[in-house]
Structures are given as C-alpha cells and as structure tokens.
C-alpha cells in the first residue's frame, strides 16, 4: 500500500510507511524535506534505503535523482 502525505507549503512525500514507527516516519520525512529546500516531490523507498526526488531550482530545469538515506 502506498501512503501519500501532503500538507500546505510542503512537498509531497510518498511511500509505504505501514512498517515504520511514527517517530521514524517523521524523521525520514524531515530529513528529505531538509535535504533539498527546492523539493517538489519525493518517493521514499525503504526497501532500498533511499528516495527518488524531483527538485525545481530557482534557476534552471527540474532535477530528478535518487539519494540514500543516512544510517540510523
């Protein structure tokens, strides 16, 4: 199951959070939001310990990529 989290003024973060304790879910979402201030959307992939992102810098084209989650 995929759960989509959205809130006003924040990027969309998607992923399957069912096996994640609430504290870990919050920590992962905050890490992703703080890592890229220009983030539009992210998809958390716990199985691979990473997330896919789409960013929109103030100057230049949109950027897509993958980024590993930190240990812990």
Q: How far apart are CA 19 and CA 57, in angstroms?
A: 33
pLDDT for position 5: 57
What does the pLDDT look like over 8-51, one tens digit per residue?
Answer: 457 888 888 888 788 888 888 889 989 888 999 999 888 888 99
* DSSP H or E stretch at residue 64: strand 63-68
Q: 12, 6 in Cβ contact below 8 A?
A: yes
Helices (H), the chain: 22-35
Q: Is 22 exposed, middle or buried (0-12, 13-18, 19+ CB in 10 A)?
A: exposed
């Amino acid at each position: 199951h995929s759960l989509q989290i959205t809130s006003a003024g924040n990027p969309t973060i998607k992923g399957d959070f069912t096996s994640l304790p609430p504290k870990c879910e919050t920590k992962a979402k905050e890490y992703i939001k703080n890592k890229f201030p220009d983030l539009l959307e992210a998809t958390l992939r716990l199985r691979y310990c990473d997330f896919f992102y789409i960013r929109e810098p103030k100057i230049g084209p949109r950027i897509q990529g993958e980024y590993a989650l930190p240990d812990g």
